């Protein structure tokens, strides 16, 4: 049994009128409207600084020593991890999360004035709420984000640290970011620790342990360990919250829940009607399937059919 809600996110590219001109919202557009994100970007800039500054210090003070005394292969591995991490971060921050364009303000296509209608999915009653701002019945799992002022398909949460919603079109990018961020943190902790241990050991063999620590602190790079100690402590503190966040989202994917559904207690004590089994959920959610967005341009036929009443086919 399949439900059609008049919201087909696979929009054809016979496109005409620009989204920002037709439907205002709080979205911020970049690069000729090909990139977008939410408002309030200050936390995103802070996130960028908290990642970029340690990364530059790590490559300047730790990696040169590791390449000389261990193996350059570790530097190559870290480089690949960082490319994947930053690609996931930027894609999540600047990609349309799954925004559904709103109807014009004068439109009100509620069926008999009802604010809510119900449909059945796998014996589960799903309530479709009428969005007073966007003027359509929101499809299942679609939530209106108050920060971005848009209805977002499969809304997970609004991430202030990336200044964008996390939804149907960028959730896999979000998961890629936090997964490789945790892996990167593990490499920073282990390689910074290795740098500290190896430098102190080299000096301790000649001058004893106490003098070895003094010389390790006062020597010139790459034998200076001050930056490595700072990186080790910073990465160790960052490891626990980021690992908890990663584990939380692994749990959500395995059960096919969104953060919004979990926090509000939806489907508590029973399986989600959207679940396709643990492996099936990971495949469906994390595979990089291309989903055309609606933020930059809108097909007029899409807007014309946006508020069709749900029908069973």
Identified catalytic residue from 9, 142, 145, 159: 159
At CA 84, angle to CA 182 and CA 167, rounded to 5?
80
Q: Are 246 and 254 in contact (CB under 8 A)?
A: no
210-248: buried (b, 16+ CB within 10 Å) or exposed (e) per residue? eebbebbeeeeebbbbebbbebbebbeebbeebeeebee
Distance CA 208, CA 227 (A): 22
β-pair partners for 312: 3
Q: For the chain, give me the number of helices (H) and strands (E)?
A: 10, 14
Calculate the alpha carbon distances from 221 to 23, 68, 195, 213 in Å. Answer: 55, 13, 11, 14
d(CA 34, CA 57) in angstroms, rounded, equals: 32
159 is catalytic: yes
| Residues labelled as active-site residues | 159
């Amino acid at each position: 049994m399949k439900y059609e809600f008049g919201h087909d996110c696979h929009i054809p590219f016979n496109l005409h009128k620009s989204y920002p001109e037709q439907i205002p919202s709080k979205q911020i557009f970049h690069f000729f409207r090909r990139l977008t994100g939410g408002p309030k970007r200050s936390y995103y800039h802070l996130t960028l600084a908290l990642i970029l500054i340690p990364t530059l210090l790590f490559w300047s003070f730790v990696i040169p020593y590791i390449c000389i005394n261990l193996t350059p292969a570790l530097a190559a591995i870290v480089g690949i991890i960082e490319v994947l991490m930053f690609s996931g971060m930027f894609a999540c921050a600047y990609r349309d999360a799954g925004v559904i364009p709103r109807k014009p303000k004068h439109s009100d296509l509620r069926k008999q004035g009802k604010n809510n209608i119900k449909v059945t999915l796998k014996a589960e009653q799903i309530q479709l709420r009428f969005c007073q701002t966007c003027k359509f019945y929101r499809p299942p799992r679609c939530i209106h984000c108050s920060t971005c002022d848009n209805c977002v398909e499969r809304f997970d949460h609004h991430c202030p640290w990336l200044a964008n919603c996390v939804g149907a079109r960028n959730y896999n990018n979000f998961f890629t970011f936090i997964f490789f961020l945790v892996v990167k943190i593990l490499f920073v902790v282990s390689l910074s620790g290795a740098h500290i241990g190896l430098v102190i050991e080299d000096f301790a063999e000649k001058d004893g342990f106490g003098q070895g620590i003094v010389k390790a602190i006062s020597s010139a790079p790459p034998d200076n360990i001050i930056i490595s100690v700072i990186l080790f402590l910073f990465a160790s503190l960052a490891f626990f919250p980021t690992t908890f966040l990663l584990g939380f989202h692994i749990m959500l994917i395995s059960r096919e829940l969104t953060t919004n559904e979990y926090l509000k207690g939806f489907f508590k004590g029973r399986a989600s009607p959207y679940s396709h089994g643990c492996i099936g959920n990971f495949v469906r959610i994390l595979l990089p399937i291309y989903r055309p967005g609606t933020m930059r341009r809108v097909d007029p036929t899409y807007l014309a059919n946006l508020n069709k009443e749900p029908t069973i086919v």
